[in-house]
Amino acid sequence: MERALIEAASAAARGEIPVGAVVTDADGAILAACGNEVEARSDPTAHAEILALRAAAARRGGKFLPGCTLTVTLEPCPLCAAAISLFRIDRLMFGAYDPKSGGIEHGPRVLAHPTCHHRPDIVGGVAERECAELITGFFKNLRNPANSAGR
């Protein structure tokens, strides 16, 4: 989660919503580490998880990621929840819960339905406070008029 937090902080510094994601293999080696790039790519699907999953699969030269873990600072949204299943990740570890836009423990709970063809092991709330503070700090900063003059 340490590396995912670094990616999230780096995303914040670029003006992106601070979410970071890391894919590790069965030995714990990092296959890919990405931050959110929605603004940079002008693509609302360029979430940290999607970029990390795609990069990890490309690095392994396969379509799926069996034996791998995705670690992400925020509860994945429904898009990323579905991608996690499609890439056949073994384990999902996430930090802060996201009652407004999360898709794992909230909203459509994408991985909890019988039509979900691959469901990873899930651990939520890892380093929760630190992960949540990154997000709340980012939006608090955005709402501060002193910081919005140049936007």
CA proximity to 84, closest of 38, 42, 122, 115: 122
Q: Which CB sits closer to its own copies, 108 or 130?
A: 108
78 belongs to the binding site for its own copies (CB under 8 A): yes
Of the candidates 7, 16, 37, 49, the residue annotated as catalytic is: 49
Contacts of 44 (CB under 8 A, 6+ apart): 38
Question: For residues 37 and 50, is the Cβ–Cβ distance under 8 A?
Answer: no
Question: For residues 18 and 9, is the Cβ–Cβ distance under 8 A?
Answer: yes
Smallest distance from its own copies to CB 44, Å: 4
User: How many separate helices (H) and strands (E) can be counted in the chain?
Assistant: 6, 5
17 belongs to the binding site for its own copies (CB under 8 A): no
- Residue 37 catalytic? no
35 belongs to the binding site for its own copies (CB under 8 A): no
Kindly list the catalytic residues.
49
Interface positions with its own copies (CB under 8 A)? 38, 42-45, 50, 53-54, 57-58, 61-64, 77-79, 81-83, 86-87, 99-103, 106-110, 112-117
